[in-house]
């Protein structure tokens, strides 16, 4: 059970609408529905009843509603007492923050900057999308900027050793999934192997510099030839390929759950113990700007269950 699930439960209860709750929380309706179903499964009970006039609490939902609100209130009180950062109304930020991001995570970073813009409308963001492989192989000195990266889990220690001038935070570790259209030939597969990928159309983010991507590293490690058919520089192009059933796409639930495509696609885990980590590199004090501090705080709140510093 996660705090985010409880917050979603309360917001759906208050609005009697998943779509309205999603708008207020900046989460897609599909993600809201998925969270409620997960909570109901964990508690082994139905919390909401659906009617033509809206969605309403069941008797069980009503019984736990006040307790859930108290849990959230206690958490917020603890956070307020321990938060050493200045409150949003005490600072007037108007600088520009550059954020380097891997192409597949662009929806996530866009959401986080939108949340910040509500409290700090004068902060300007420069979102710099790069091929994930180039981003990881680039210089490690990020000065006062923010750099989001996705790396294979077995490469985390290499990044830590190479990035001694940075603070490194783990956002989330996930099993690698391939997204496919529900009408594709592989949609019913429980998992998919690396060898299978050479027989189906998959769109990759292949760097024109290194001629590689994340998945090519896995092919190389397993001694399997890598024969890519499609490559794209833009996230929207990949989603277009996916929605039109022209190609499959490797991406992350933390980005894909923000899109309204759950009814069209399925996520298929990659066969084997393959995981990747989404991490954030920042400058160290005293080189950290106030704008960067705000972004770190918002990111920590978003990933409150898994966020932690992994560098010394």
Residue reference for tokens 């209130």: 73
- Running DSSP on this structure, what letter comes out for residue 284? P
Choose among 246, 254, 243, 207: nearest CA to 226. Answer: 207
| Bridge partners (DSSP) listed for residue 282 | 146, 167
Report the share of the chain in percent with pLDDT over 70.
Answer: 91
What number is the average pLDDT over the span 10-16?
A: 90
So what's the pLDDT on residue 27? 75
So what's the pLDDT on residue 88? 42
Structure tokens at 96: 């520009």
Of the candidate ranges 24-38, 69-83, 209-223, 294-308, the one whose mean pLDDT is the lowest: 69-83
Residue 254 has pLDDT above 80, yes or no: yes
Chain segment 176-208, per-residue pLDDT in tens: 999 999 999 999 999 999 888 888 899 988 888
pLDDT band of residue 86 (cuts 50, 70, 90) is very low
pLDDT band of residue 163 (cuts 50, 70, 90) is confident
Residue 140 has pLDDT above 90, yes or no: no
Domains assigned to the chain: 3-82 (1.10.10.10), 99-312 (3.40.190.290)
Residue 68 has pLDDT above 50, yes or no: yes
So what's the pLDDT on residue 139? 45
Chain segment 33-60, per-residue pLDDT in tens: 888 988 999 899 999 998 888 899 999 9
Q: Torsion angle of alpha carbons 98, 99, 103, 105, nearest 10°?
A: -150
Residue 286 has pLDDT above 70, yes or no: yes
For residue 210, how far is the Cα from the chain centroid?
A: 25
So what's the pLDDT on residue 138? 54
C-alpha separations of 75 from 3, 5, 13 in Å: 9, 14, 19
Distance CA(194)–CA(192), nearest Å, equals 7
Rg (CA), the chain: 21
Residue 81 has pLDDT above 70, yes or no: no
**Global pTM value:** 0.70
So what's the pLDDT on residue 217? 83
Chain segment 93-117, per-residue pLDDT in tens: 788 899 999 989 999 999 999 999 8
Residue 87 has pLDDT above 70, yes or no: no
| 142 close to 100: Cβ distance less than 8 angstroms | yes
DSSP H stretches of helix in 231-275: 235-243, 253-256
- What's the whole-number average pLDDT of the chain? 85
């Amino acid at each position: 059970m996660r705090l985010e699930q409880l917050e979603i439960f309360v917001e759906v209860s208050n609005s009697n609408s998943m779509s309205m709750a999603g708008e207020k929380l900046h989460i897609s309706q599909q993600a809201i529905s998925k969270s409620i179903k997960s909570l109901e499964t964990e508690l082994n009970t139905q919390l909401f009843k659906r009617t033509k006039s809206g969605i309403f609490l069941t008797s069980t939902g009503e019984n736990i509603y006040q307790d859930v609100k108290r849990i959230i209130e206690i958490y917020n009180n603890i956070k307020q007492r321990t938060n050493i950062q200045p409150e949003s109304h005490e600072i007037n930020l108007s600088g520009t923050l550059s954020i380097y991001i891997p192409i597949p995570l662009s929806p996530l970073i866009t959401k986080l900057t939108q949340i910040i813009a509500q409290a700090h409308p004068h902060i300007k963001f420069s979102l710099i999308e790069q091929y994930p492989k180039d981003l990881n192989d680039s210089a490690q000195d990020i000065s006062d900027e923010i750099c989001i990266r996705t790396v294979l889990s077995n490469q985390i220690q290499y990044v830590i050793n190479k990035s001694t001038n940075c603070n490194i935070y783990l956002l989330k570790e996930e099993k690698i999934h391939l997204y496919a259209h529900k009408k594709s030939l592989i949609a019913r597969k429980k998992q998919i192997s690396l060898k299978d990928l050479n027989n189906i159309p998959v769109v990759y983010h292949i760097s024109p510099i290194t001629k590689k991507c994340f998945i090519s590293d896995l092919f190389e490690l397993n001694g399997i030839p890598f024969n890519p058919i499609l490559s794209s520089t833009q996230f929207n192009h990949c989603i277009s390929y996916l929605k039109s059933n022209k190609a499959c796409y490797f991406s992350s639930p933390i980005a894909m759950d923000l899109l309204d495509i759950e009814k069209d696609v399925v996520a298929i885990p990659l066969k084997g113990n393959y995981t990747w980590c989404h991490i954030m590199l920042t400058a160290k004090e005293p080189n950290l700007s106030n704008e960067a501090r705000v972004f770190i705080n918002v990111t920590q709140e978003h990933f409150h269950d898994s966020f932690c510093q992994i560098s010394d």
